[in-house]
Amino acid sequence: MGKKKQEDPPAGSPAWMATFSDLMNLLLCFFVLLFSMSSIDEKRWEEVAASFTATFSIFSGGAQAIGDGILISNGVSQLNQLDDYINSTGKAAEDMDAAIENIMEEAEKQMMAASEELEEKVEEAVSEAGLDDLVELSYTSQYVELTLNGSLLFESGSSVLSQQASVVLDQVGLILERYAESTIEIEGHTDNVPIQTARFPSNNELSDARALSVFYYLMEHTSLDPAKVKHSGRGEYNPIADNNTQEGRALNRRVEIKIYNSLSE
């Protein structure tokens, strides 16, 4: 029998040798890189680092914000300067808060001055109309308030305007037409004596109905824009006097008309 011919080995290097060679090349590159970094010129490195810092820094001024790009050798110094930066940011925030507070105070002064000027005009008009004893005036930085005693406008437990009320509200309507440049708000108030009728189960409904009666009267007898006039019932919850006395309860039964100044909005 003839001998079997031996097969030739595959051409080229074995597969494991190629993988091994790649690994050696990678290791060589890695150690060369380590060597190059260990002997790099310090000045040149700082210039490169500063360039990156100036490009990517989140701080104002780029590298200058935390030390001209000395990112590694001066790490502690950078942290100190970062702390200074944070402190300066906090100081800026405090300055901003102070500025906002000053602006708010100045706005409050201007609004108060506007209300004071409006109150003087309304007071003069009230005096000319002969309503000094019937209408009480006060003001805040937002509005001038006219307070009308409830007994002047309504009978006890009623939301129907009295005949005397029409005389007063006609004069008040003229004043509102003349001086109201912004929102007008009508609020009804009561004392704390409970009421429970078929129409008014509580003081809340009574106060709301009284404010609404004044609103309807002014809409029928003046040229005021209804869109600028609000009305609400506040019940017994905002007293201005002691409900334990008859005099106090009489003062608490009232209708307030607030004329907001032009700066309040």
Q: Is the pLDDT of residue 155 over 70?
A: yes
- Give residue for tokens 């970094």: 37
pLDDT at 32: 72
Length of the chain: 265
Look over the chain and give the mean of its residue pLDDT values, rounded to a whole number.
Answer: 82
Amino acid identity at 15: A
What is the rounded CA–CA span in Å between residue 85 and residue 96? Answer: 16
Whether residue 221 contacts residue 173, with contact meaning beta carbons closer than 8 Å, is answered with: yes
Whether residue 155 contacts residue 254, with contact meaning beta carbons closer than 8 Å, is answered with: no
CATH code reported for the domain at 110-260: 3.30.1330.60
- Sheet architecture: strand order including 135-139: 135-139, 143-149, 254-260, 184-189, 229-233
Whether residue 148 contacts residue 135, with contact meaning beta carbons closer than 8 Å, is answered with: yes
Which two three-digit tokens encode residue 144? Answer: 């001038």
User: Using one digit for the tens of pLDDT, what is the confidence trace for 173-210?
Assistant: 999 999 998 999 999 999 999 999 999 999 999 999 99
What is the rounded CA–CA span in Å between residue 112 and residue 135? Answer: 21
User: Using one digit for the tens of pLDDT, what is the confidence trace for 62-110?
Assistant: 444 444 554 445 555 656 666 666 666 666 667 777 778 888 888 889 9
Q: Are strands 184-189 and 254-260 parallel, antiparallel or unpaired?
A: antiparallel
Cα torsion through 175, 179, 183, 185, rounded to 10: -30
Using 50, 70 and 90 to split pLDDT, how confident is the model at 58?
very low
DSSP state of 64: G
Q: Are strands 143-149 and 135-139 parallel, antiparallel or unpaired?
A: antiparallel
Looking at the chain, list the stretches that DSSP marks H as alpha helix, in order from N- to C-terminal side: 15-38, 42-56, 75-128, 150-153, 163-179, 203-221, 246-252
What is the rounded CA–CA span in Å between residue 104 and residue 91? Answer: 20
Question: Where is pLDDT greater, at 7 or 134?
Answer: 134
What is the rounded CA–CA span in Å between residue 9 and residue 174? Answer: 117
What is the rounded CA–CA span in Å between residue 83 and residue 92? Answer: 14
Query: Model pTM?
Result: 0.65
What is the rounded CA–CA span in Å between residue 265 and residue 257? Answer: 17
Which two three-digit tokens encode residue 242? Answer: 């002691």
Which two three-digit tokens encode residue 257? Answer: 């008309």
SS3 4: coil
